[in-house]
Structure 1
């Protein structure tokens, strides 16, 4: 299985891409801290007073017996006599680690957190190595990593925390996450050596420095995507040459090949989006050259921690419809998606939800053949209404503006099929708000 091979990759291979200069560590006693630094698949250690190869192995390697490996690697003649200040190379693969944990900080909707054979989903729950997080339709989850980074898991996605470890030598965190389906967004803290941060899919492996990026995997289509918003990501597609994606670049993997391309730019904001008064939330975008469709994510906060809804446009369309939300202020993140399924650069905007749609449309026959059209007042009231009646072919029969009350009477109509609708006109924050009702049908015998 490709997933198994990904998980089995050694730390040395990753560190060649992800390692950064190290820093000192602290002990409970006042002894001076050892000087350490990374060099590819080894870690440089500066000998202190009373150090021996056995004591170093016992303190910093998984097995004390590995002191012999240190002797061979460093060409030490006497393992009991190490001059203070001598530098030794410690194999990263042999360094002692301890488990660390992530934490689920928010979730919405159908979210499953599986770890240790149990399913536990609650805000504040600790998330250990081997745990899997899966989200259902219109759901999302967010967790913080031991080094302060974050992972956001949108709807219909599944990720595994394949490795969560800290090196005992200096506390540097080593993390690996596998995206098993759907998408995830990452904000990664700067890596401390000998730690690293890797993200894999069944089609690729990625090593990163401190950065912000997204990774997706579609098992049914057997394709994967990496999209870099900041920093850089080293992507190794299975069986292909590695690629380095810089900011505003992405890697699309499908059909046995990998493409490094520029991400689509941020969609421009349409002012009419600012107040959402209709039954559905509807976001229009200015067309982006090269886009196949558009995505929108809605949150209650500007950092998009509390995501409450999301949606996509139909292919080739520039309007995104999302199920209704309660009245109030929100934020929306818009992106354009390429034919390679690479999601472009995001643009965040603020909008206000203020439902202003009439309902209860009904028609009552009147004496003499006329008809009275009725509708209900919207929840927050309306200053006036606009009434339209059209034949089945769309030809307008009546278009009345500035109707003061929820109702209007029309004279007798010719036989035929008709459709009619009502617009409510109100104000939110001093700005006019107009919203059409869904159309209703009328048959005149």
Structure 2
């Protein structure tokens, strides 16, 4: 049976059911404009009513023409949109589990009524909930399903789902694939003549993090500049706040700490107004990192513990574990290596190549430093080599050169100069082309 035949049968059954519910005969429904035979033909699915007939029959049956044609209650899409906004607000300010339940119900309801756009939005919401919980495979599945529903829609409408999937791959440690997804979308938007400012802002803000982890600082800075140029055209304060948080990372990587702090302050102010708790925690997290880089370890610890408390309350397990790695570094530098080692040991089973690979590498690097400080050279070497393997798999070039230096120094001090030279050479290779990656050409700038 073809889709058109299915539609005719559904409309016919709907007319028959509504007519019976109202106690009307076919003649009573049809006259004076039509005949009972015509209504019979419609109810049997042998014909499809014209637009004029549909409006006439709908008025006689006391429903809207859309409801008679589709079976959807009046204003259903508008109601679903309002409830999607409520679910998003629950995710921002309430419990993620409650938001998951809301999005699940909305996705099922939208699917039941054939509302693909609303179903896709609900699936993106479910993906965001799964991201917060650290369930990366679930998140990728939800985002993929949303993209599939919107496969015929213009690319700007698919960008939130695509961006979510790229973030999930980034958190899993697949940096290059995350970049590929985002760069491909940027290029396609510009090539198709669809430089939608909000879509591009989402993409440029998202691509900064994998660029920095890959060591592509020049590309990250360019993406930040382009995103800042787009910001005045975007009326979504959450997207603008996310932009300022991402830009702060590029400023910090460029040694511009004061400007990074100012950018974080702008992001934090917006997140406080919007009451987006998870993103607010990320601002505290970054400020903790910034304070640590400036040597203010007490302030760094305060910021990191504030971020950790918010995320732990949110049950955002993966983000909490990643903060613990940063906190362990502050503890070690504050002379509390035993406490730092205990914190890191608890994380090693949770962070692995498919879940937070970059932070897993950072945890092993710190454990190597702690082991080396107490003279456990074999243990330190094992941690350094594990960290190298994790970061190489992820493509996190930005940290590999420093790690090679640490391992080379250890090998040299323990009487293995030839091995040390090999490791140093590997580290120099990672430093050979700062600001570049093995990716293709950088995406073209949009016509601003």
Fold match (TM-score > 0.5): no
Q: Give the greater-gyration-radius structure (CA).
A: 1
TM-score w.r.t. the length of structure 2 is: 0.29
Structure with the bigger RCO (C-alpha within 8 Å, sep 6+) is: 2
TM-score w.r.t. the length of structure 1 is: 0.30
